[in-house]
Chains A and B, each alone.
Chain A
Amino acid sequence: MRPLDALAKVCGDVRPGEPAEGVLGVEPALVAAPENVTEAADVMRVAAENGLAVVPRGAETRLDWGAPPERCDLLVDTHRLDGLIEHAAGDLVAKAEAGLPMERLAEKLAERDQRLALDVPLPGSTVGGTIATGAAGPLRSLYGTPRSLVIGLTIVRADGQVARSGGKVVKNVAGYDLGRLFSGSFGTLGLIVDATFRLHPVPAATAYVVCAVSGPEDAHDAVQTVLHCAVAPSAVEYIGPSGTVAVLLEGVPDGVAARARQTADLLGENAEISGTAPDGWGRYPDGTTLIDISAPPPALRDLLTLLGPDIAVTWSGSGHGHVGLPAESTPDEVADVLGRLRDALGRHRGGAVVRYTPEEVRGEIDLWGPVPALALMRRVKDQFDPDHRLSPGRFAGGI
């Protein structure tokens, strides 16, 4: 039986791929959209029986991240896996299917004044894609990234077996935490079908304190001032090239008002209190190349010194950020910035990873930088995907 027919027998939505659906130019032979866990498991099993290379796809907001797959015989599309399975509001827990868009999840949780405390930098992105890419924004300072908020995960393995880890209680140390392992694994270990999250109440009040800063020293000082004071911000973000430091405060109305004033006093006369986020908050910086950077908070000074005043950058107080390089950057220029970023951040034990960049640049640079414990990662990959059929070549070290 042809793979298409075999897949059609187990899944209600199977068709040949189209050129426009290429993953970084690699056209999928087939596309399957399972509707539930059983279909997802059957699709993965048939893929295994036919030796098909599988790339999971959510809403395509980050399908251009990483390296192109070496091959893509089958795209497993999660758009029909879009249910909110459970919202246990009293327990501050929700279980959602992988294809559910983050905004739709947020709307439903908001009906009970709750939220999943993750920023959604790219509109439309799905629960599964958010976990698979480890995506987060300014809120990470206080609430962490998907790895901190996923408390249970269901996956389909490369061989079509369904496995779960964690559960639906926040406090749980029974067994290995595969939720953390799968966070940021870019579809190379298995197909995420649903996830259970720890939720937080929607704060009764929020305020932003926004302050223009001039130059690396000033930016560094402003961020450090806020980090080491007692206002307990939910997020502190530097946004460039505009040169803004913004602080998010959340809590009860009186508390937030008082803390906002305190923060504004600390930051000096340039500081303003606002009910809305400043431009660029929670978004990736503009550009056709996006570089993910991380290093301890004080690295901000070196970072801004090396980037100069014109480059688009965001940097959250916890020591993570993004650099955007414009479309006109030549491969050499990208390589140069990347090299200098890795040198400077490396001195702080940090690093830089290229998320996306035009094809002509991609071939000229190393997207990942040094990968510690790569041999160990390969051995884990070999266990989960011995045939290297899951998003082959998309990930660090060619995994």
Chain B
Amino acid sequence: MEARLAVLAARLEELLGAGRVITDPVRLRTYECDGLTNHRSTPAVVVLPDTAEQIAGIVRECAAAGTPYVARGSGTGLSGGALPRADGVLIVTSRMRRILEIDIPGQRAVVEPGVVNLDVTRAVRPHGYYFAPDPSSQQICSVGGNVAENSGGAHCLKYGFTAHHVLSCEVVTPDGEIVELPADGPGYDLLGVFVGAEGTLGITTKITVRLTRLPETVQTLLAAFGSIEAGGGAVSAIIGAGVVPAAIEMMDALSIEAAEAAVRCEYPPGAGAVLIVELDGPEAEVAAQFTEVERLCRDAGAFEIRIAADDEERALIWKGRKSAFAAVGRISPAYIVQDGVIPRTALPQVLAQIDALSAESGVRVANVFHAGDGNLHPLVLFDDAEPGAEERAEAVSGAILDLCIEHGGSITGEHGVGVDKSRYMPRMFTDTDLDTMQMVRCGFDPDGLCNPGKVFPTPRLCGEVPGVRRGAHPYEGKADLF
């Protein structure tokens, strides 16, 4: 290790105590990537703090040494957001797993950043509550990671994303201060921009989350269609009828085949597409809407509809969908998980275009998506043993993003930009747009040490703009007293 970093590691050990600082190359390898394994970099130092004060200390040491640092929760991110820097420190929150407070009358809980998403729900379910954001990774991903990625899940169609369920964050800023960013405080909504900033504006050390009342009832159906177009028609009809389902998920023939091979979910044979529709809420409400959804599915050409009679059957319906990503491993040696968004009405058109892309290139694409909000997860299949196959798959994957942008959509609906997609950002935004976003970053992190190289393809220089006058703040020194 470079002498400079060795000195820093020693200082960090003084700060955190023995056993909390990892520099052993073998152990460091554990942290070389997140859920996106094709980007790897072994960090110089890993630290395992217990408290916000320790994180503030670490950040101050890094700032003094001019060393970049990256926060990591559970490392399930799918865009390389937690990819470490070989010349930097990785701050891992896995020891900060306490649920500090559960306030049912106030419908909120206060948690440390390393708390696993599902553990929040487990802790409050006996009171009739849950934490609504439900990424498929919820058994392992951390609330801190959810905040950084503004994570969603199958049910965000109705309940919104992490941003809608976070009431306040305690944050260690890049200058090593501990500040509270409430959603409702006076002044700017800094929390609003912090959530979803992918760990580039600071490290959250305590999160106040909103708890949601468990619905009285949940109803789930599986509808099988001859084609994706027919399934897409059902989705449009449901939304058009003013129904806001808790979730609408769709899978195409190839992903059904994979799920079948992996978990034997026994979806109706011969389906070109299946749709999972879930409604939740008060019984009286759900009963009426569910009948309507069923009718709309039939009208759109569903040849079989299964209704879950209980939780067990519901789990069975979801099993195929939930296993879809991993299941693709059964039908292809390797694959890329894409995450693009299109306006829902463009669904049939874009899927036809993806088909054409696939036919043209000979690269197979399985489609799994959150159909209700137009969030596509095309799985681009390839054989990593075959020379050039990965490049071809990458090209198809990139072309799918172009399709999303062409149709007025987005390059990422939930997995974030990270290192993986920063090069696509200029296709979606102008230089001025990106420059403007980075003004926020310059306000928070002028030295660019907090998770650098993520989100933006080129960093903005944060120095003083030449020739610009800076008026003094009229309340300078005074307003803090207020």
- Could you say which of A25-33, A210-218, A302-310, A379-387 contacts chain B? A379-387
**How far is it, in angstroms, between the C-alpha of A232 and the C-alpha of B283 when the chains are bound?**
10
**How far is it, in angstroms, between the C-alpha of A179 and the C-alpha of B189 when the chains are bound?**
10
Output the least CB separation between A332 and chain B (Å): 18
Q: Choose among A148, A256, A387 the residue that contacts B164 (Cβ–Cβ < 8 A).
A: A148
**Chain A neighbourhood of B455, CB < 8 A:** 175-176
Establish whether residues B244 and A259, one from each chain, have CB atoms under 8 Å apart when the complex forms.
no
Within 8 A of B (CB), among A167-226: 167-181, 183-185, 189, 200-204, 224
Closest to A250 in B: B285
Known: A171-B152, A171-B373. A387 touches B239 (CB 8 A): no
Within 8 A of A (CB), among B182-222: 182-193, 195-197, 213-216
How would residues 102 to 121 of chain B score, 1 for a CB under 8 Å from any chain A CB and 0 otherwise? Answer: 01111110000000000000
Q: Choose among A173, A176, A204, A231 the residue that contacts B440 (Cβ–Cβ < 8 A).
A: A176
Known: A176-B440, A230-B282, A252-B289. A373 touches B433 (CB 8 A): no
**Chain B neighbourhood of A51, CB < 8 A:** 469
Establish whether residues B190 and A380, one from each chain, have CB atoms under 8 Å apart when the complex forms.
yes
How would residues 406 to 425 of chain B score, 1 for a CB under 8 Å from any chain A CB and 0 otherwise? Answer: 00111111111100010001
B342 on the interface (CB 8 Å rule)? yes
B126 on the interface (CB 8 Å rule)? no
**Chain A neighbourhood of B475, CB < 8 A:** 397-398
**How far is it, in angstroms, between the C-alpha of A320 and the C-alpha of B107 when the chains are bound?**
14
How would residues 224 to 260 of chain A score, 1 for a CB under 8 Å from any chain B CB and 0 otherwise? Answer: 1001101110000000000000000001101111110
How would residues 390 to 414 of chain B score, 1 for a CB under 8 Å from any chain A CB and 0 otherwise? Answer: 0000000000000000001111111
A20 on the interface (CB 8 Å rule)? no
Q: Choose among A298, A353, A373, A383 the residue that contacts B106 (Cβ–Cβ < 8 A).
A: A298
Known: A91-B343, A168-B408, A170-B373. A395 touches B187 (CB 8 A): yes
Establish whether residues B413 and A171, one from each chain, have CB atoms under 8 Å apart when the complex forms.
yes
Establish whether residues B443 and A382, one from each chain, have CB atoms under 8 Å apart when the complex forms.
yes
Q: Choose among A177, A255, A395 the residue that contacts B284 (Cβ–Cβ < 8 A).
A: A255
Known: A91-B345, A171-B341, A173-B412. A380 touches B482 (CB 8 A): no
**How far is it, in angstroms, between the C-alpha of A88 and the C-alpha of B282 when the chains are bound?**
29
Closest to A348 in B: B106
Establish whether residues A232 and B281, one from each chain, have CB atoms under 8 Å apart when the complex forms.
yes
**How far is it, in angstroms, between the C-alpha of A351 and the C-alpha of B182 when the chains are bound?**
11
Establish whether residues B433 and A165, one from each chain, have CB atoms under 8 Å apart when the complex forms.
yes
B19 on the interface (CB 8 Å rule)? no
Establish whether residues A200 and B410, one from each chain, have CB atoms under 8 Å apart when the complex forms.
no
Establish whether residues A167 and B375, one from each chain, have CB atoms under 8 Å apart when the complex forms.
no
A22 on the interface (CB 8 Å rule)? no
Within 8 A of B (CB), among A263-302: 294, 296-298
- Could you say which of B30-38, B40-48, B173-181, B330-338 contacts chain A? B173-181
Establish whether residues A165 and B105, one from each chain, have CB atoms under 8 Å apart when the complex forms.
no
Q: Choose among A162, A257, A378 the residue that contacts B473 (Cβ–Cβ < 8 A).
A: A378
B436 on the interface (CB 8 Å rule)? yes
A376 on the interface (CB 8 Å rule)? yes
**Chain A neighbourhood of B149, CB < 8 A:** 173
A138 on the interface (CB 8 Å rule)? no
Establish whether residues B179 and A297, one from each chain, have CB atoms under 8 Å apart when the complex forms.
no
Establish whether residues B425 and A180, one from each chain, have CB atoms under 8 Å apart when the complex forms.
no
Within 8 A of B (CB), among A350-387: 350-351, 353, 366, 368-384, 386-387
Establish whether residues A374 and B480, one from each chain, have CB atoms under 8 Å apart when the complex forms.
yes
**How far is it, in angstroms, between the C-alpha of A35 and the C-alpha of B215 when the chains are bound?**
47
7 contacts between A and B (CB under 8 A): A144-B164, A174-B417, A200-B244, A251-B285, A259-B284, A372-B181, A399-B473
Q: Is the interface of B mostly helix, strand, loop or mixed?
A: loop
Closest to B482 in A: A366
Output the least CB separation between A395 and chain B (Å): 7
**How far is it, in angstroms, between the C-alpha of A366 and the C-alpha of B481 when the chains are bound?**
10
A93 on the interface (CB 8 Å rule)? yes
A393 on the interface (CB 8 Å rule)? yes
Within 8 A of B (CB), among A336-356: 348-351, 353
Within 8 A of A (CB), among B459-482: 462, 464-465, 468-471, 473-476, 478-480, 482
Q: Choose among A252, A320, A371 the residue that contacts B285 (Cβ–Cβ < 8 A).
A: A252
Known: A252-B289, A380-B440. A88 touches B479 (CB 8 A): no
A18 on the interface (CB 8 Å rule)? no
A147 on the interface (CB 8 Å rule)? yes
Q: Choose among B179, B243, B410, B468 the residue that contacts A174 (Cβ–Cβ < 8 A).
A: B410
Within 8 A of A (CB), among B419-463: 421, 425, 428-430, 432-437, 439-444, 446, 455, 462
Known: A228-B213, A232-B215, A393-B474. A134 touches B370 (CB 8 A): no
**Chain B neighbourhood of A177, CB < 8 A:** 150, 163, 192-193, 195-196
**Chain B neighbourhood of A327, CB < 8 A:** none
A56 on the interface (CB 8 Å rule)? no
**Chain B neighbourhood of A155, CB < 8 A:** 436
**How far is it, in angstroms, between the C-alpha of A92 and the C-alpha of B444 when the chains are bound?**
34
Establish whether residues A185 and B188, one from each chain, have CB atoms under 8 Å apart when the complex forms.
yes
Output the least CB separation between A235 and chain B (Å): 14
Establish whether residues B468 and A387, one from each chain, have CB atoms under 8 Å apart when the complex forms.
yes
A319 on the interface (CB 8 Å rule)? yes
Establish whether residues B186 and A396, one from each chain, have CB atoms under 8 Å apart when the complex forms.
yes
Given A167-B409, A173-B196, 13 additional A-B pairs, CB 8 A: A147-B189, A148-B164, A169-B341, A171-B413, A173-B149, A176-B440, A201-B243, A232-B216, A251-B282, A255-B282, A351-B186, A371-B187, A396-B188
**How far is it, in angstroms, between the C-alpha of A228 and the C-alpha of B440 when the chains are bound?**
39
Closest to A354 in B: B186
Q: Choose among A144, A203, A296, A398 the residue that contacts B474 (Cβ–Cβ < 8 A).
A: A398
Q: Choose among B168, B408, B430, B444 the residue that contacts A380 (Cβ–Cβ < 8 A).
A: B444
B321 on the interface (CB 8 Å rule)? no
Known: A91-B344, A259-B285. A368 touches B373 (CB 8 A): no
Closest to A151 in B: B410
A161 on the interface (CB 8 Å rule)? yes
Q: Choose among B103, B164, B195, B432 the residue that contacts A161 (Cβ–Cβ < 8 A).
A: B432
Within 8 A of B (CB), among A132-157: 134, 144, 147-148, 155, 157
